[in-house]
Amino acid sequence: MNSEQQYIELYQEAADTIKARSCPVMNAVRDEAFAAFSQVGFPSKKVERYRYTDVDAAFAPNYGISLSPLTVKPSPYIYHLKDAPIDVAPYYHHVADAADPLTALNTALVHDALLIYVPKNTQVEDPIVVDNWLRGSAATMMNRRVLVILEMGAEATLIINDHAADKQRFLTTQVMEIVCHDNSRLDLYEIEETTPLCSRFSNVYLRAGRDCSIKHNSITLFNGQTRNLCDVYLTGENTEVTLNGCAIGSGKQRIDNNTLIDHQVPNCQSNELYKYVVDDQAVGAFAGRILVEKDAQKTTSQETNANLCASSDARMYTQPMLEIYADDVKCAHGSTVGVMDEAALFYMRQRGIPESEARTLLKNAFMGQVIDQIKYEPLRQRLYVKVEKRFRGELDKCEDCRLCK
Amino acid sequence: MLDIKNLHAKVGDKEILKGVNLTIKDGEIHALMGTNGAGKSTLSNVIVGNPAYEVTEGTITFNGKNLLDMNTEERAHAGIFMSFQAPIEIPGVSMTNFMRAAVNARREALGKEPLKSTDFLKVMREKRKLVEIDQKLMNRSVNEGFSGGEKKRNEIFQMAMLEPTFCILDETDSGLDVDALRIVAEGFNKLRTAETSALVITHYQRLLDYIRPDVVHVLIDGKIVKTGGPDLAQKIEDNGFDWLKEELA
């Protein structure tokens, strides 16, 4: 299949409209991005970082493109990119990997973008929350772009929720570019709670300076097909980054997380913990690459991917990768794929706990380790409840949605 | 209470039980002794419905009901409890949540309302005192990081919470020092009512000094070969099993 053709034609037809509804900083790189996309098209499964997801098939259906402007609730630190209080041209499309076909496609088609900007030495106490509502009366493609800038000494917690408000097919591309300047702190939570009709392709690129503390949590509670890429570039010393993931799949859901932590400089620390529970015929994939470059001495890094296949038809692919070019580092990686602990199930059933409840308790316990690490207390408590509901099968729609009722 | 007739069972392809007959009346305590590999643990696992074991022949009736038609949890709801020889660790599931799920599942099966949180914690506190188990263990994951003695004490605590009518103590004395053994056995005795029956599996007389059996059985090679009074246990303690094997030969 060559699904790219319809997007190439779409761009040729709609480019003028998109540009008219967009802003100069986005238009400046648009044609170039389109050229990059049309040259390579969608990546096949032979491309290493896309080997677990059939991109072509996901983009094949005929989606209408949404070109309505974003509704941004007035709140501090959140802006339309066109209203940016600072010059964003040095950042926009400069943090992202311009060669990635999905990033290129997003850059070509996106007409409106969000900026989250925290000025120098500003400590934002309450979390900054972005709720994305997918709405539409027909199959719709959404292209979302987010730029996050934390200036020196800035601190923020950012929660991004993805909901689907209509029982409709949605295809989302997202490119998020994050710049953490020296001595900043970012806790970022991305929580997907959509429907089996949704496909999500998210590329997150994060560049951190020195003395930063960064946490990224990717939580897939309910979805259709999801492919999350998260690339972190450590460009300043003494920065600590944590990438955590919680992925729960059932039915025919697919969840593919692909991460890179690039240690470019010495004395940084990275921790990565991704856990999956896949049930029914769900498919999970995790590929995490830790790259320790030649000069990145005294790097410490721990990467763990632990997975529970709760049914014999569920599939899990795992690929932890360590690539080390420095000689004085402390790095470890490990991955496990297990099944339900039969001895524990029997023990619980002997005590009268019904088998389905026993399974729920075990799955919940398994995922608890990731949720335990969530720093923002109210979110942690909310996720304990949500994860448990998810395993009980009570979370088949985004319950927070006022719109879904 | 429990009536086992001509019970045959296997694990995988291996036949372990080869025609066990056993009747336990209300309020009776039976001890089951036997050589290693004779099938003592198989018998207890078959009674509680461990899916790893397959019954090929025979019947088990529990208070008039066909036990073999019931799944593991239904047997538990009917009042059967097994104290495990090697209690299982369940990381990430707290003792409190585990116990609440078990207690409320049984209550639901019996048509009762689930216990309110405060009532449940009160019951936990009372039963905990009965078997002298530390509160701090209740906040931990099930059996995780428990010593051998704490695990066995925890089994008796769970028994206290679930108030079964028929208990199997599967080598509850193994790995226990004298003091722990006394506490566990005394805990069991405190929990007993006039109707409670038990099957006590042990290699040693010592446990039977605390939990006095009414009847003692000897299981060898998948069959009960001898049944007698408490003096049979003492005779085995003194002389081993060889004289029995000779008697059979």
User: Mind listing the pLDDT tens digit for each residue in A11-26?
Assistant: 999 999 999 999 999 9
In this prediction the pTM is 0.90
Q: Are A325 and A214 in a shared domain?
A: yes
In chain A, the number of structural domains is: 2
Give the pLDDT mean for A202-206: 98
Give the pLDDT mean for A356-376: 95
- The domain spans of chain B are 2-248
Chain B contact for A348 (CB, 8 A cutoff)? yes
- The answer for residues whose C-beta is within 8 angstroms of residue A39's C-beta and 6 or more apart is none
Confidence class of residue B216 from pLDDT cuts 50, 70 and 90?
very high
> Is residue A19 a contact partner of residue A67, using CB atoms and an 8 Å limit?
no
Give the three-class secondary structure for B95. Answer: helix
B142/chain A closest Cα distance in angstroms: 10
User: How high is the pLDDT of residue A404?
Assistant: 46
Lowest mean pLDDT: which of A285-294, B159-168, B237-246? B237-246
Q: A403 pLDDT exceeds 70?
A: no
Task: Report the distance separating Cα B15 and Cα B206, nearest Å.
Answer: 31
| Average model confidence (pLDDT) across chain A | 94
Q: How far is CA B234 from CA A219, A375, B31, B181, B220, in A?
A: 62, 61, 12, 18, 17
B94-146 pLDDT, tens digit per residue, is 999 999 999 999 999 999 999 999 999 999 999 998 888 888 898 899 999 99
- Per the CB < 8 Å rule, is A346 touching B51? yes
Task: Report the distance separating Cα A140 and Cα B136, nearest Å.
Answer: 54
Going by C-alpha positions, the residue among B2, B9, B8, B21 that lies closest to residue B67 is B2
Confidence class of residue B68 from pLDDT cuts 50, 70 and 90?
very high
Going by C-alpha positions, the residue among A183, A113, A197, A194 that lies closest to residue A155 is A183
Cβ atoms within 10 Å, residue A85: 9
User: How high is the pLDDT of residue A229?
Assistant: 98
Residue that is last in its domain, among A287, A313, A342: A342
Of chain B, the percentage scoring pLDDT greater than 90 comes to: 67
Per the structure, the complete domain to which residue A304 belongs is given by 4-342
ipTM, two decimals? 0.96
User: How high is the pLDDT of residue A399?
Assistant: 52
A236-253 pLDDT, tens digit per residue, is 999 999 999 999 999 999
- Per the CB < 8 Å rule, is A352 touching B76? yes
User: How high is the pLDDT of residue A400?
Assistant: 52
Strands A198-208 vs A225-234: parallel, antiparallel or unpaired: parallel
Question: And the tokens for A13?
Answer: 């037809």
User: How high is the pLDDT of residue B237?
Assistant: 86
Strands of the sheet containing A300-309, edge to edge, are A128-134, A155-164, A185-193, A213-222, A240-249, A269-278, A300-309, A330-339
Task: Report the distance separating Cα B159 and Cα B152, nearest Å.
Answer: 11
Chain B contact for A352 (CB, 8 A cutoff)? yes
User: How high is the pLDDT of residue B166?
Assistant: 96
Q: Where are the beta strands (DSSP E) in A135-212?
A: 140-150, 155-164, 170-180, 185-193, 198-208
Question: And the tokens for A360?
Answer: 């729920």
Does domain B2-248 correspond to CATH entry 3.40.50.300?
Answer: yes
Torsion of CA A362, A363, A366, A371, to 10 degrees: -130
Going by C-alpha positions, the residue among A232, A256, A47 that lies closest to residue A148 is A232
User: How high is the pLDDT of residue A165?
Assistant: 86
Chain B contact for A62 (CB, 8 A cutoff)? no
Q: A367 pLDDT exceeds 80?
A: yes
- The answer for residues whose C-beta is within 8 angstroms of residue B13's C-beta and 6 or more apart is none
Q: A401 pLDDT exceeds 60?
A: no
Going by C-alpha positions, the residue among B192, B127, B147 that lies closest to residue B165 is B192
- The answer for residues whose C-beta is within 8 angstroms of residue A328's C-beta and 6 or more apart is A297, A298
Confidence class of residue A7 from pLDDT cuts 50, 70 and 90?
very high
- The answer for residues whose C-beta is within 8 angstroms of residue A140's C-beta and 6 or more apart is A63, A64, A65, A66, A134, A168, A169, A170, A171
Give the pLDDT mean for B61-78: 96
Q: Are A337 and A353 in a shared domain?
A: no
The per-residue b/e assignment along B33-67, b for 16 or more CB within 10 angstroms, e otherwise, is bbbeebbbbbbbbbbbbbeebebeebebebeeeeb
Of chain A, the percentage scoring pLDDT greater than 70 comes to: 97
Q: A86 pLDDT exceeds 50?
A: yes
Chain B contact for A392 (CB, 8 A cutoff)? no
Give the pLDDT mean for A28-55: 94
Residues in chain A: 405
Could you write out the DSSP letters of every residue in A203-239? EEEEEE-TT-EEEEEEEEEE-SEEEEEEEEEE-SSS-
Task: Report the distance separating Cα A246 and Cα A214, nearest Å.
Answer: 17
Q: Are A118 and A267 in a shared domain?
A: yes
Chain B contact for A347 (CB, 8 A cutoff)? yes
Question: And the tokens for A388?
Answer: 């448990």
Task: Report the distance separating Cα A198 and Cα A224, nearest Å.
Answer: 5
Task: Report the distance separating Cα B246 and Cα B225, nearest Å.
Answer: 12
B82 → closest Cβ in A344, A350, A354: A350
Q: Are A240 and A305 in a shared domain?
A: yes
Q: A405 pLDDT exceeds 50?
A: no
> Is residue B217 a contact partner of residue B33, using CB atoms and an 8 Å limit?
yes
Cβ atoms within 10 Å, residue A344: 21
Q: Are A304 and A318 in a shared domain?
A: yes
User: How high is the pLDDT of residue A68?
Assistant: 81
Residue that is last in its domain, among A323, A342, A361: A342
Cβ atoms within 10 Å, residue A9: 10
Q: A93 pLDDT exceeds 90?
A: yes
Strands B215-220 vs B29-34: parallel, antiparallel or unpaired: parallel
Give the pLDDT mean for A348-352: 97
Q: Which residues of B touch A344 (CB under 8 A)?
A: 88-90
Strands A170-180 vs A198-208: parallel, antiparallel or unpaired: parallel
Interface with chain B: mutation pick from A336, A348, A350, highest number of B CBs within 10 Å: A350
Give the pLDDT mean for B175-200: 88
> Is residue B91 a contact partner of residue A347, using CB atoms and an 8 Å limit?
no
Q: Which residues of A touch B93 (CB under 8 A)?
A: 361-362, 364-365
Q: Are A276 and A360 in a shared domain?
A: no
Q: Which residues of B touch A347 (CB under 8 A)?
A: 84, 87-88, 90, 142
Chain B contact for A362 (CB, 8 A cutoff)? yes
B156/chain A closest Cα distance in angstroms: 12
More confident residue, A378 or B173: A378
Q: Are A184 and A293 in a shared domain?
A: yes
User: How high is the pLDDT of residue A252?
Assistant: 96
Q: Are A334 and A382 in a shared domain?
A: no
A352 → closest Cβ in B73, B88, B93: B73
Q: Are A380 and A265 in a shared domain?
A: no
Chain B contact for A353 (CB, 8 A cutoff)? yes
B169/chain A closest Cα distance in angstroms: 13
Q: Are A244 and A152 in a shared domain?
A: yes
Q: Are A87 and A199 in a shared domain?
A: yes
Residue that is last in its domain, among A293, A325, A342: A342
Q: B22 pLDDT exceeds 90?
A: yes
